[in-house]
Amino acid sequence: MDALATLAYKLLNIRLRKESSIMKTNKVGFTLIELLVVIAIIALLMGILMPALSRVREAAKRAVCSSQVKQIGVAVAAYATANENRMPVYNSNNTNINPYLLIHSYALYRSESLYVDSSGKLLPMKLAVLYEGKYIADPKVFYCPSNINPLYKFKSYNNPRPWGTLPQYYNASDGQGHNQWVRMGYTYLPIDPRTPINSATGMPDETAKTIDRLDPHIPYMTDLIRHKYQISHERQGNFAVHALFKDGHVTLCNDERVFNNDVWDKMEYGQIRELTANYIVFRLIGGKGLDTGG
């Protein structure tokens, strides 16, 4: 790349020296060949630089995402300390029935009457509990900046403002008939390994109620896990996701065995439900079943 830049510089310098020796009354300018050569060199330089710049931008987004995941881990720990070691409720509802029921991994607010209190206030669930408790100041933290699907981007839930209000224009306008929910851009699945497995779903029916009941070896939150080709990050030629663990540490998992497992195809084609697939992927990230090939 330096050699190409040097060549372009020399061509321009030679031409300028030539022009300085011509009488001022003569018309001077680049020949078509010289102009085309310079344009070709600039185009080649841009072709080399643009992928490098793209990688730098993605690395910066990945660093922001890692920081956000870490911040959420700190907030969960602070919330648990202030609330008798309890995790944020997974499924807020005005009847307060089974608030840790596993029904989905992404809704933070819902517009249905069961999820609105008597005064009309939307009830926060999952990470929204951290926001309303002021453990998280900016809800933008709940969205990885590299997310691909608009359904899980921060900007999709700000019309009307402020964030956390419903109905949202995006839900009604994208033509896919999405529910009036405010969704988050991570997959949050805090599992208690001692909770019995439901034979019909292949996973527990409830999330961990207290932070001490989390499995220290399995993450309780990751980057968005749905469609394989909408995974937010890549590293060393493999898909990659950030994973948050009980002790607050964050890792970037790019183990090809996790992403080559057949659970992704089963989720894509509806052979297993999404939550069960999330549960399996979380266990794979934690090293459970990696060598079984799925």
Judge whether 115 lies within some domain.
Answer: yes
Give the pLDDT score at 55.
64
**Could you give the maximum distance between any two Cα atoms of the chain, in Å?**
93
Judge whether 91 lies within some domain.
Answer: yes
Q: Which residue, chain included where needed, has tokens 């085309």?
A: 36
- What sign results for the dihedral spanned by CA atoms 101, 102, 106, 112? negative
Q: Which residue, chain included where needed, has tokens 């944020």?
A: 88
Quick check: 207 and 100 in contact, CB under 8 A? yes
* Residue-level pLDDT, tens digit, the chain, 294 residues: 555 455 555 555 655 565 555 444 455 566 877 778 888 888 887 777 666 566 678 889 999 999 999 999 999 999 999 999 999 999 999 999 999 999 889 999 999 999 999 999 999 999 999 999 999 999 999 999 999 999 999 999 999 999 999 999 999 887 777 899 999 999 999 999 999 999 999 999 999 999 999 999 999 999 999 999 999 999 888 999 999 999 999 999 999 999 999 999 999 999 999 999 999 999 999 999 876 544
CA–CA gap between residue 208 and residue 101 (Å, rounded):
10
Q: Which residue, chain included where needed, has tokens 């079943």?
A: 289
Give the tokens for residue 36.
């085309």
Give the pLDDT score at 20.
55
Give the pLDDT score at 193.
95
Judge whether 11 lies within some domain.
Answer: no
pTM of the shown model: 0.82
Give the pLDDT score at 39.
84
Judge whether 240 lies within some domain.
Answer: yes
Judge whether 1 lies within some domain.
Answer: no
Omega of the bond leading into 167 within 30 degrees of 0 (cis): yes
The β-bridge partners of 182 are 109
Q: Which residues contact 235 (CB under 8 A, 6 or more apart)?
A: 62, 252, 254
Give the pLDDT score at 128.
98
For residue 66, the enclosing domain spans: 52-292
Judge whether 28 lies within some domain.
Answer: no
Give how far the C-alpha of residue 149 lies from the chain's centroid of Cα atoms, to the nearest Å.
Answer: 9
Q: What's the total number of domains in the chain?
A: 1
Judge whether 41 lies within some domain.
Answer: no
Quick check: 197 and 269 in contact, CB under 8 A? no
DSSP the chain: -HHHHHHHHHHHHHHHHHHHTS-TTS-----HHHHHHHHHHHHHHHHHHHHHHHHHHHHHHHHHHHHHHHHHHHHHHHHHHHTTTBPPPSS--TT---TTB-S-SSEEEE-SGGGB-TTSPBPP-TTHHHHHTTS-S-GGGGB-TT--SGGG-GGGG-SSSSTT-SS-HHHHHSSS---SEEE-BEEE----TTSPPBTTTTB-SB--SBGGGS-TTS-SEEE--SSGGG-SEEETTEEEEEEE-TTS-EEEE--HHHHSSTHHHHHHTTSS-HHHHHHHHHHHHTTTTGGGT-
Give the pLDDT score at 175.
72
Give the pLDDT score at 23.
46
Judge whether 186 lies within some domain.
Answer: yes
14 phi, psi to nearest 5 deg? -60, -45
